[in-house]
Amino acid sequence: MKNILVTGGCGFIGSNFIHHLINKNDLSHIVNLDKLTYAGNISNLSQVSNSRHTLIEGDICDSDLVKSLFDKYEFESVIHFAAESHVDRSIDGPSNFIHTNIVGTLNLLEHARSYFSKTKNEDFRFLHVSTDEVYGSLDDGGKFLESTPYDPSSPYSASKAGSDHLVRAWNRTYELPTLITNCSNNYGPFQFPEKLIPLIIINCLNDKPLPVYGDGTNVRDWLFVKDHCNAISSVLKNGKIGQTYNIGGNNEIKNIDVVKTICSILNEVLPREDGRSYSELINFVKDRPGHDFRYAINAEKIKMELEWVPKESFDSGIRETIHWYLDNRSWWKPIQDKTYRQERLGVIQP
């Protein structure tokens, strides 16, 4: 079996990607390096066979550990998901984001470079998974291209922009065979409840207020996580070394409309006991500092070069997501009880 290093494989997108590899019968052994911070959850992979997956609890910033893994497993590829990823948390504690997202990525790149220079394995790839937030904010027109200048607004997006620049530089300077993907907002199973869609679903189920930043008109392009995993596989297999690929869901929606859609579906599948609409729980709150107005991905490059397009519409994807959270209360309730109780984060105190 080929050995693949997946960093952050107990997180939201990383665990979905591991399930994707296993389900498509990819003949590889996955070494999953995860620090198991608040957002890393071993139960995300409870149904994955140990014969195909090895979990290493550790930090991507640990140089000795990362070197030992390259020496032991001689990886065919690295898919780098591990990152601090929540904008609100980056406002509260930016240093963690700089350390993990920039220093951690540097550490992985250096050991990948050392390994590649020794083995000269022509099949080796280092795929760095990033975000559209590095491009900054759009007004009502246009979409992000791979050539769009970086203009990050938050400590999170700035740290991801820094890591992107490192990956690109290691390709150009050291000829490390790298690939970068920049995706739009993901949603789907196993997403930690601090993010908008699971937060709204769980608050509805608990009959709690549904916080909407500002006036709710900020726009995001929503990408179902399983579509994202398919795209990453396509880039890993057929992407051109040194290239960046934008991955979007073709679903530009205002935040308030996302919330109202969730309320409408829950009104249908699980009505409130008093018969009132979940939308009556909507509560407009003070906007996030530096809140980007609009993100929108132009995904023509990956469509034309790799023949990838998303399969799920927002309507089909959000219904599947809602039903997953309804059917998997045993997954999110321990998080709610012990780790995160839907409290507001990222509020700058005077």
Residues designated as active site: 132-133, 156
The first and second tokens of residue 139, run together, are 């007004």
What is the Cα–Cα distance from 112 to 7, expressed in whole angstroms? 13
Q: How far apart are the first and last CA of the chain?
A: 56
**Residue 180 exposure: Cα atoms within 13 Å on the Cβ side:** 25
What is the Cα–Cα distance from 54 to 48, expressed in whole angstroms? 10
What is the Cα–Cα distance from 322 to 306, expressed in whole angstroms? 30
Number of Cβ within a 10 Å radius of residue 147: 9
What is the Cα–Cα distance from 290 to 151, expressed in whole angstroms? 12
Q: Are 221 and 299 in contact (CB under 8 A)?
A: no
Cα–Cα distances (Å) from 150 to 100, 114, 130, 172, in that order, read: 20, 29, 12, 18
Interacting residues of 24 by C-beta distance below 8 A, sequence separation 6+: 233
Among 337, 317, 313, 262, which residue's Cα sits nearest to residue 16? 317
Q: Are 7 and 81 in contact (CB under 8 A)?
A: yes
Task: Kindly tell me the sign of the dihedral angle through the C-alpha atoms of 114, 117, 118, 124.
Answer: positive
Number of Cβ within a 10 Å radius of residue 247: 27
Residue type, 225: V
DSSP bridge partners of 15: none
What is the Cα–Cα distance from 53 to 51, expressed in whole angstroms? 6
Angle separating helix axes 314-327 and 255-269, nearest 10 degrees: 60
DSSP code, position 279: G
